A and B are shown apart, each in its own frame.
Chain A
Amino acid sequence: MNLKYSEEYQLFREEVRQFLKENWTAQDVADNPRVSEMAQGLGSSPRTDERATALRRAAAKRGYIYRHVPRKYGGGEQPPDPLKATIIAEEFKAAKAPGALMSQGPAMLVPTLLAHGTEEQKQKFLEKTLLGHIRWCQGYSEPGAGSDLASLRTTAVLEGDHWVVNGQKIWTSNAREADYMFALVRTEPDEPKHDGISYLLIDMRTPGIDVRPLRQMDGDAHFNEVFFDNVRVPRDSMIGERGRGWYVSRSTLKAERALIGNASMARRTFDGAVLLAQSTQVRGRPAIEDPVLRDRLADLESRLLAAEYNGFRLLTASARGDDGGLAGLVTKLHTSTLAYDVAKLAIDISSDAAMLAPGEPRAPFAGMLVQAYFMYYALAIGGGAPNIQRNVIGERGLGLPRDMRR
């Protein structure tokens, strides 16, 4: 174990700082439509304009962002180094500079393309996805295929040079903004259910696609239903072989779990909760002085630190060619539960102001913490609901018998 900011790392920090000074000016910061830290963490769109693109290109070239992606596809191509990654994140944050994109495309499709895509597909999609110029949505869940995803029924039938897609997807985040969807469709209806699925990239502007927003319990409409009516998709838009889509998608799902398993959102909410507790007067006293609250804060911080250091541990394991075993399998359940509990604490700190909706100016932090609270309900479900995670942990991690999978 070695966590020292040795001279090498001090120099590295200087180097990143210098890079940002040269490539992200005060004017760039001022141009930034003021999006709060918290809002960014909760998925509001980061900048993808010309200046942001220029910065990302230069940062990737220096190896600061997209470190796991080869250079020829627009990545930084660097060995995993949690400490450097931390330094980069800290310096980008301090400079208010847009860093790596964390949306579905870069976080979920890119690893899948790298593992299973053809050279042509990689050339076509990777760099533009990393720069946010091609935006993606994920077409997995269907009304009848949620936790039992492999029972999906959206079909694709080969007619000449096109796959003709019919069916419906649901819970599709960002479907209205996305340029493309990566989707699972049934191409081999006579095969056993896991072996009849293919992984298809669908241009969202193709005729026959109908996107309808789905209003959530928080009143927002982040999700959508997507209907396909004889949508013609070029034959070469498949990733991996026909009928192998289920196995191709596993790398995407793993990436999604890792994305949601990242503790940074919980950290932002936690820091927000501490700030709130320090600045809120409840019944004439600072909330932070309440011993019960202090106990809960320290308890949650233990879990948060465990999640963060577990992230270090997994990065080190992956650098050694080890998947981390149980420590990796539990991250999604661990951090999504944690994030929910942290947001719940923030709600409690708000006292009766917790009744105010996001956006209400009289709500603490304009209701950003309440918004987080809502959002974490969705995060717990996305990428596999908690009980599905428990099955995975129990079966793959602890060696217990498999559940019904027909």
Chain B
Amino acid sequence: MDFGLTEEQTLLQDTVRKYIQAECPASRVREIMESDDAYDPTLWRGLAELGVAGMTIPEEHGGVGLELLDLALVADVLGWACTPGPFLGNAMGTTALCASDPEAQKRWLPGVAAGDTVLTFALGEGVGEWDAAALTTRGADGTLTGEKSLVPFADAADVMLVAAVDDDGPGLWAVERGARGMEITALSGIDLSRPVSHVRFEGTNATKIASGRTATDRARDVGLVLLAADASGGSHRCLEMTRDYALTREQFGQIIGAFQGVKHQLANLACDLEPAVSLWWYAAHAFDHIRDRAERHAALAKSHLSDIYDTTVRYAIELHGGIGFTWEYDLHLWFRRSMFDRAFLGESSYHRKRAADLAGW
């Protein structure tokens, strides 16, 4: 029995953190997010070389063959650094592919592992519909027709995994870049590090690669855990920035961190955040090892950590005072990211409702 990280996992986090600190500090985050497609292929390739793109892909397909916890530890670092890039959709797509036809796996997974093929996952429809059984995008005769409302990095993706339904019920389809009848409309999103698009399919060529909802549900659970880890990393960063500010900003003749009002607010944030780290660790571990608890824990981890992120960002900005509300100061990058983490794949109360239902209450 062991509930801690291995040396390899700590090293993995250190390695990714060093790479990101060198290649993508906040100043670079701003450059990328102000570019046309908010996408830096060189950065993504660098991460892929560290094994990030193919972390959970089996070795037989050229991946690293590790587990969701390892990938979530990377998400924690990327959230901490507010790193732009197709990490989330790529990871969800990878999970869906790994639960699909062997033919599809053979075709795309090696490219994904190498960082040559970028995936994204198209799930949500309308407002707030993320359930595989309630989707209206339809597959028929090798085509898809329907609309997806919030697809991350749709433009950058080489292959889009699409959850849809056909006469047999829910299933999963793959659509390749530039497929005829696919219309991608970039949306003006709040999170500038992870752009989203509206995607319309009109008899679009698509390959059905899985039947049933398992591939989609597993991809969703991976997304939930990675969002929880991202929120955890982002919360830590906001707490650190605010602590550092409280140690340098002087008012009334002393640094503001010496005031109990400030100290206690920071302590409250740490008190909520620190134990919650164990919740997403557990959820990630359960995904690979405790299947009957995986779905519920993913839902609870995402709702809890994204709520914490929301609170942490709020007090971080408040404790900074006016400077925290400026464009020049970096805090809003994380504030924006927290809005994505809260809403993507469904808001907190939606997942708590699912968790209550799954508990059999």
Contact = CB atoms under 8 A, between A and B. Distances in A.
Interface in A158-176: none
Interface in A307-366: 307, 309-310, 312-313, 315-317, 320, 326-327, 330-331, 333-334, 337
A248 interface: no
A295 B266 CA distance: 27
B133 to A, nearest CB: 20
A244 interface: no
A310 B267 contact: no
B18 interface: no
Interface string A1-19: 1111000010000000000
Contact of A390 (B268, B274, B277): B268
B187 interface: no
A32 interface: no
Contacts of A337: 271
A390 B356 CA distance: 32
Interface stretch (B1-9, B82-90, B92-100): B1-9
B260 A391 contact: yes
A3 B361 CA distance: 26
Interface stretch (B51-59, B281-289, B334-342): B281-289
Interface stretch (B107-115, B142-150, B161-169, B347-355): B347-355
A27 B349 CA distance: 49
Contacts of B281: 1, 309, 313
A35 interface: no
A3 B274 contact: no
Given A310-B275, A316-B3, A403 B260 contact: yes
A202 B87 CA distance: 63
B3 A398 contact: no
B243 interface: yes
Interface string A264-306: 0000000000100110000000001001001101110111011
Contact of A309 (B282, B349, B352): B282
Nearest to B242: A398
B69 interface: yes
Interface string A385-405: 001011101110111110100
Nearest to A400: B257
A2 B270 CA distance: 26
Q: Main SS of chain B's interface residues?
A: helix
Contacts of B297: 305
A83 interface: yes
B208 interface: no
- The number of chain B residues touching the other chain, given as a range, is 35 or more
A131 B301 CA distance: 41
A312 B281 CA distance: 11
A393 B270 contact: yes
Given A298-B303, A301-B300, A399-B247, A3 B285 contact: yes
Contacts of A117: none
B275 A334 contact: yes
Contact of B267 (A295, A313, A394): A394
Contacts, number: 162
B271 A333 contact: yes
Q: Main SS of chain A's interface residues?
A: helix
B267 A398 contact: yes
Contacts of A81: 1
B220 interface: no
Given A288-B361, A306-B304, A326-B270, A295 B1 contact: no
B275 A307 contact: yes
A71 interface: no
A84 interface: yes
A391 B277 CA distance: 22
B21 interface: no
Contact of B356 (A2, A297, A312, A400): A297
B4 to A, nearest CB: 4
B186 interface: no
Contacts of A326: 270, 274
A81 B243 CA distance: 35
B343 interface: no
A41 interface: no
A298 B304 CA distance: 9
B185 interface: no
A3 B1 contact: yes
Nearest to B263: A394
Given A309-B279, A326-B270, 4 more contacts: A302-B276, A303-B276, A320-B4, A400-B263
17 contacts: A3-B290, A81-B1, A82-B3, A274-B361, A278-B361, A294-B352, A297-B361, A299-B304, A303-B304, A305-B282, A306-B275, A310-B275, A326-B270, A333-B271, A334-B275, A400-B257, A400-B258
Interface of A: 1-4, 9, 81-84, 274, 277-278, 288, 291, 294-295, 297-299, 301-303, 305-307, 309-310, 312-313, 315-317, 320, 326-327, 330-331, 333-334, 337, 387, 389-391, 393-395, 397-401, 403
The 6 closest A-B pairs by CB, nearest first: A83-B1, A309-B278, A312-B3, A298-B352, A302-B304, A310-B275
